Structures are given as structure tokens and as C-alpha cells.
Amino acid sequence: MARIPGDRLVGRGKVLAAKGMYKEAAMVFDNATAIDGAVHEPLIYLACLVKAGDTGRAARLCSRFLDEDVKGVTSEALPRIADLSAALWLSGDHPPPASSLAKVHDAAEKALAAWSGGADAEEVDALLAAIPLRSPFKPLRLVLKSLTGTEDPERRRKLLDMIPPDSAFESLAHAAGLAIGGDLKINVFQGESRDAQENIQIGEFRVVGLSRSPPGNEIVVDLALDRDGILQVTAREKRTGLQQRIVIDQAIARLGEAGMAEARERVGSLFGPAKGNGAGSGTGDGVPLNVAELLARAEAKLDDAGEEDRAELIDLIEAIRDARKACDSARLTASCEQLSDLIFYLET
């Protein structure tokens, strides 16, 4: 009997996942791996295991993918696998004792337990200092910092905005945003998958003026699509009736790269200017004007930063200086943004 090629099984698994048949999809991915020994679409595979309720197996696979050179698991996928593993470990599973992240996991659990137990901000902040911002537990550190580190709603929201929308901690960041009150970011994606991580983000907007309330404050988002491809998005706070509505033209167009860039620009004009990174103004090609000031602020933080954060400060300072020498504006801009975010966190 002829064997079905692994790539055809992968396609079948993706179709099942898109239909919400996660257990069946995971089994198909298992069969594909059995054929050629490679892990196909590891991010989709892990998501299927989690959504099928097999979190223990997902956590074990995450540990294996992070610690071993596994065929099919690319370096590009590792940051998101690490992010998922951190969320799974905090939800009940644990990293292997020999894992380099075991110590950081213990620190994260202590910080989370302290905050849940009503510890004061100073105690929580001291525990958070043991969680490096370069670790996959960074989103938890940002969430707890937003809830305890400052009373300024704008600074709190900026901390939450540092968590990417495809993070496994996004729902936690969403809940923290509702607890803080003020406004809420809504991400809009274009694509056919039920999993936002498999679609393309075409824009975002904020519902401004939300009430401050405990977890459970429901925000209802309605999407209405007409035959012309015009998408109307309405976000409404159920408790107060506050709502905001926007319209996106050609929301379901089959866009190429040029078309997608145009769509992002169009959506950006609807929602207002993109948020800055707090690092100062920039030149036309995206190179920050205040690089020297940013470096000075970073160097001033070296003595007070924790060991891991100090190492990241040094790495970013070095990356910025190397990028300036090489006249690499793209690398310079990216490094400055990362350093600005780190300084913002340390200053909060």
C-alpha cells in the first residue's frame, strides 16, 4: 500500500486545525512526523495540543524543542515556542530540573504568588527583578509591573503594549488592561484561520474611556462584512454601553505584498498615528536622532540593574554602536527601540 507523503498530511492537519478539530489535527501531525522524522509546522502542532487539552504533552515538547536540535524546528520558531512554554509552565506544568529556565520559572512563580496574595508593590517589584527581560517570562514581568509599578495609566498601558499580540500571555495582558481601565487595544487580523497567530495583522485601534473594573468586565466586539469586502468593527463595553466603531475597506481582498502594505497604511490612517517608542524623534530613514542620549540613559542604569538586565543593556549598547559604525540604519533603529523599551521598564 502506498504511503501518503508527509507534506500532504501536513496540509490535511492545517485544514483540520482551521476547522477547530484540534485533537484530530494533532494526530495527523504525529503521523507526518512518523513518516520522515521531522516536526512539521511546530507552532500549529503545539497550538493544537494546547487547544485539545493536552497541555502536559505540549509542555514536554516545548522543552525538547528548546533544548535539542529537532528536525523541522527552525530558529525563527524558537522565540514563540519559548513564550508558549513559559505560559504552560506557569499554568501547572514545570520545566525539567536541568533546564536553564528552571530557576527563572521559580522566580516567576514566586512573583505571581506574591501578587496574588496581596503583597505590596515593593515586595512584588523585588521578586520581578529576578526575572530577566530577555527570558520567555518577560510578558508576566510586564503584566505584574503594569499592575504594581506605577499609578500612571499611560505608563501602565505602554508596559502592556510591549507584549506582542501573538504572545501566549496576550489574554493575561488583556485582563490586566481591563483592570487598569482607561482604554483597550483591539488588534484586527486578515486571514481564514481561527488562530490569530496564523493570520496577518492589518491594524489596531483603541476603545477609549473604559471604566475601571475587576476582571470579568466584558467587551463585545462585533464584525460585519458586506459583499464589497467592507468590514465594520464595533467594540462595546457591556457594563456601560460605551462603544467605538471603525470601518476597513477591502478587508478580504487577496492582497500581495504591495497591497498589504497599502492596506496597513490605510488602516493606520483610520486609527491615527502609530504609537512611538518613547526614544525621541527620528529622521526620514528611521534612524533616531537622540542615540547619544539613549546610550547615556542606558549607561546610567548599569549599576542599579539586575545581573540579567545589565547583560541585556550591555548587549544592546554594543549592538547600537556596531550598527552606527556599519551605517546600518535598520539594525540601529531596531536596537534603539529594544533599548528604549528596556529603559522604560527599568525607569517605571
pLDDT tens digits for range 158-180:
888 888 878 888 888 877 776 66
Question: Contact at 8 Å (CB) between 232 and 223?
Answer: yes
Residue 4 is classified by DSSP as P
Phi first, then psi, for residue 303 (nearest 5°) are: -70, -35
Residues 21, 25: Cα–Cα separation, whole Å: 6
Average pLDDT of the segment spanning 320-328: 87
Comparing 155 with 284, the larger pLDDT belongs to: 155
Tens of pLDDT, residues 29-40: 999 898 888 899
Domains, in order of start, for the chain: 6-90 (1.25.40), 115-180 (no CATH), 181-275 (2.60.34.10), 291-347 (no CATH)
For 14, 26, 99, the CA distances from 70, given in Å and listed in that order, are 21, 18, 16
Residue 64 pLDDT more than 50?
A: yes
**248 or 272: whose pLDDT is higher?**
248
Q: Taking 80 as the threshold, does the pLDDT of residue 200 lie above it?
A: no
Reference 46, options 84, 3, 98, 96; nearest CA is 84
